[in-house]
Structure 1
Amino acid sequence: MDRPRRTDHDGLYQRPGSPFWWATWTDRTGHRTRRSTRTTNRRDAEAILAGWRLEAHRATDAQGLPVRTFDALMLAYLKGPSADKRADRDRYSAKHLYPAFTGRNLATLAPSDVRRYIDDRRAAGAQPGTINREIGLLSSALNYARREWDWAIPNPAAGRQLREPEGRVRWLSKEDATRLIQSAEAEPKAGHLADFIRLALHTGCRRDELLRLEWSRVNLDSRLLLLEAQHTKAARRRSVPLNATACRALASRIAFRLAHCPGSPWVFAHEDGSRIAACRRSFMSACRRAEITDFRIHDLRHTCAAWLVSGGVPLTEVRDLLGHSTIGMTERYAHLAPERVRAAVAILDVGDD
């Protein structure tokens, strides 16, 4: 028998590429919802659909209260304040949230729904950090709607963070970094890549802090980059000092700008002046040529921190340079400065025969 396809009629159907039964129904307001039942058993799917229909019927009661749906929440929240800064990460998280919550009346959202989502994502192989970011997006959006839009909805996603393993610390030696930069200089379609890597290694800035950097926030006389609150993950302003290597990388970008796009406001721009939005593909290509494995763009920031701590810079100063919100985030690099701890325990030898 042929498999049912997507339909405009209420009922169950199966989508190509999905093993689950999908449901579609229309509530009394005329709003149509399509949603995965997350089950391959037809009878179970019919029972789930019946429950959703009853829920939708109850949601449009005699009081005529508006139905606040997950779809409406995400559509508005992802276009709201600070959306541009977090767009890539949040869009990725929302992509996983939608199949589980699309069409859902938020007034009926329960802790069991969030627990079920977490269990399903873990069964699919998602890591705790990934799931936490997804649940965190849902919680933040719900809180924002409650606070800013006066939506009378619960937030069962609050406080449901999973325990995450200790943060990854992958960094390069100076020799490996030199090889990576040389490989980046040979990247045929990414003339900016070597300068991007140099700046990341010598400022500790995050990827988007650099790719969204405007020339108006670069002061070569004072040798500083200015990052306002809206440009940083921690939403705190910070100034980033520039060493000689970082200044040379910026001088290279200035030469490119003068030759191709003198009116562009962006430090990392295409020849037409538009902003370079991503460099992951060319970065991974350079890593492969340099025979550097298991290394991501964010690890350039780890490398900067590792070099600083290994060179004896106090953790508090590393925290301030990198813009960590707490010293705890910086302490993941403490093991790279064993001399600091050795000097501390040496005090215990005083007066010992």
Structure 2
Amino acid sequence: MARKNRENRGLFEKPVGSGRWWVRCWINGKDHREFVGTKTEARNRYEDLTGKIRKGEMIADCRKTKISDLITLGLNEAKANDRKSLKEFERFAALLGEYCGSWRAAALTTDDCNKYRTLRKEGKVTTKDPEKRKNQKIRAVTDSTINRELAWLRHVYRLGFRNKPRLVAQVPEIPFVDENNVREGFFDLGEFERLKEHLPAHLKPVVTLGYYTGMRLGEILNLRWSQVDFGAGVLRLESKDTKNRRPRNIPLGPEVRSVLEAWRFETMTKYPACDRVAHFDGRPIERITRSWKTACRRAGLPGKLFHDLRRTAVRNMTKAGVDRTVAKRISGHKTDSVFERYDIKNDRDLIEAAEKVEAYLKGQNQIPIGKKSALSATDLEEVLKLALETIEKSKKIGAPGVI
């Protein structure tokens, strides 16, 4: 009897005894029934459909797939590719797993995603134990943070869709909100020196590297002494050490070199077995959040971020006239668009530009014919550029007297 059932799997005769045979299987998450004809034709058709399902050309019963299965798929993919954001993905997985992990993947809707955003802002979706969170203050969650979480949810759906056989029939429409979180903070030299005065000794090399080289905090905390080549005067970052998986060499300026040499001497004297540049009593530093906030508050710089040092380094390189290609290689930026976001102009930059224009205009009436301008070639080029921009703007608004 069991053998007969296996032979007729996916086939049924309707009406019974009529000789009209049908096939039945799950395709694209739906119960697919199709009239074929004779029993032999129906069996061949069923084998053809199941073969396509196995190849991933069609989807089997994706109604059985749960969102927790997709989350597991996403975490396994991150581990297999050694993603640097694995810890962040695990946090996303815990949050999404609490909200919808037990749901069928095919059941997720756009409204469910909007509801998730609302509950996250209200602090009702969190990885903390419910008993512990009763007396705790709810921490505000920004739209950009929720966007990252939903973006990862979309990512695991796409993995499930590309999987063979496919685990989902389609990727749901997941809404995102506009973000207005572009930071524009930076340090001037006086603020940087004031900050250093309030930092503990073991963090001064860390912030010095951030201010002068523009290295990311994670790159600094993972830096080892074997990567510091004092002979060649460079720091060597391998592809596994950088965010964009591109190796780069960072030159050591006099100030950075002096600080690192003094810190290495102290490290080798007290903790000869320590191979990390960033350490506290020979133990690697994992985070600096509390010490950073305390130092910023005491220095009168509340709200400053460590990443502001990176923006500062890019801005300083640009103002110093470093070629953009070289500056991008030092900072590790891949595209011009992101690099330009870091090259922030403050009010003082604009005032200096205005002063140069005024000096140039005044000099036109004071410099005798045949004499050279007191301004350098670079200054003159910048002044000419500003003057041309002013003329173009005047033409657009129809200013009088402009030809």
Normalising to structure 2: TM-score of the pair? 0.60
Match among 219, 222, 245 for residue 209 of structure 1: 219
Gap change, CA 1:315 and 1:98, over 3 Å in 2? farther
Shift of residue 181, structure 1, vs aligned partner: 0.8
C-alpha contact 1:280 1:297 (8 A) present in aligned 2: no
1:256-275: per-residue Cα shift (whole Å, max 9, x none)?
A: 33123323332223434x42
Q: 2:290 aligns to what?
A: 281
Shift of residue 169, structure 1, vs aligned partner: 1.2
Specify every segment of 5 or more residues in structure 2 that has no aligned partner in the other structure, as ranges.
1-59, 124-139, 354-380, 392-401
Q: Which residues in structure 2 correspond to 1:148-163 (within 5 Å)?
A: 152-153=167-168, 156=171, 160-163=175-178
C-alpha contact 1:90 1:137 (8 A) present in aligned 2: yes
C-alpha contact 1:138 1:157 (8 A) present in aligned 2: no
* 85-94 or 292-301, larger mean C-alpha shift: 85-94
Matched, 1:326 2:335: yes
Q: 1:237 aligns to what?
A: 247
Say which SS state the counterpart of residue 288 (structure 1) adopts. Answer: helix
1:246-299: per-residue Cα shift (whole Å, max 9, x none)?
A: 212321331233123323332223434x42111111111111221211101111
C-alpha contact 2:92 2:152 (8 A) present in aligned 1: yes
Q: 1:81 aligns to what?
A: 81
Shift of residue 200, structure 1, vs aligned partner: 0.7
**One-letter code of the match for 1:226?**
R
Alpha-carbon distance in structure 2 between the residues aligned to 1:330 and 1:275: 30
C-alpha contact 1:225 1:242 (8 A) present in aligned 2: yes
Q: Alignment length, in residue pairs?
A: 285
Gap change, CA 1:97 and 1:67, over 3 Å in 2? closer
Match among 156, 169, 183 for residue 184 of structure 2: 169
Alpha-carbon distance in structure 1 between the residues aligned to 2:307 and 2:145: 16
Match among 191, 209, 216 for residue 199 of structure 1: 209
Specify every segment of 5 or more residues in structure 1 that has no aligned partner in the other structure, as ranges.
1-60
Output the aligned Cα RMSD.
Answer: 3.5
Alpha-carbon distance in structure 2 between the residues aligned to 1:257 and 1:310: 35
* 204-213 or 274-283, larger mean C-alpha shift: 274-283
Say which SS state the counterpart of residue 235 (structure 2) adopts. Answer: strand
Q: 1:72 aligns to what?
A: 72
Q: 1:20 aligns to what?
A: none
Gap change, CA 1:69 and 1:260, over 3 Å in 2? same
Shift of residue 75, structure 1, vs aligned partner: 5.2
Alpha-carbon distance in structure 2 between the residues aligned to 1:232 and 1:341: 35
1:293-346: per-residue Cα shift (whole Å, max 9, x none)?
A: 110111121222232233344544433322223211122225356558654243
Say which SS state the counterpart of residue 304 (structure 2) adopts. Answer: coil
**One-letter code of the match for 2:195?**
L
Matched, 1:299 2:291: no
C-alpha contact 2:78 2:86 (8 A) present in aligned 1: yes
Alpha-carbon distance in structure 1 between the residues aligned to 2:164 and 2:224: 33
Shift of residue 77, structure 1, vs aligned partner: 5.0
Q: 1:222 aligns to what?
A: 232
1:169-218: per-residue Cα shift (whole Å, max 9, x none)?
A: 1111101100111111xx3xxx3111111111011011101101122322
Matched, 1:114 2:124: no
Q: 2:98 aligns to what?
A: 99
Alpha-carbon distance in structure 1 between the residues aligned to 2:207 and 2:104: 46
C-alpha contact 2:214 2:313 (8 A) present in aligned 1: yes
Normalising to structure 1: TM-score of the pair? 0.67
C-alpha contact 2:205 2:259 (8 A) present in aligned 1: yes
**One-letter code of the match for 2:222?**
R
C-alpha contact 2:236 2:249 (8 A) present in aligned 1: yes
**One-letter code of the match for 2:101?**
T
Alpha-carbon distance in structure 2 between the residues aligned to 1:228 and 1:255: 24
Gap change, CA 1:79 and 1:107, over 3 Å in 2? farther
Q: 1:3 aligns to what?
A: none
* 317-326 or 205-214, larger mean C-alpha shift: 317-326
C-alpha contact 2:143 2:177 (8 A) present in aligned 1: yes
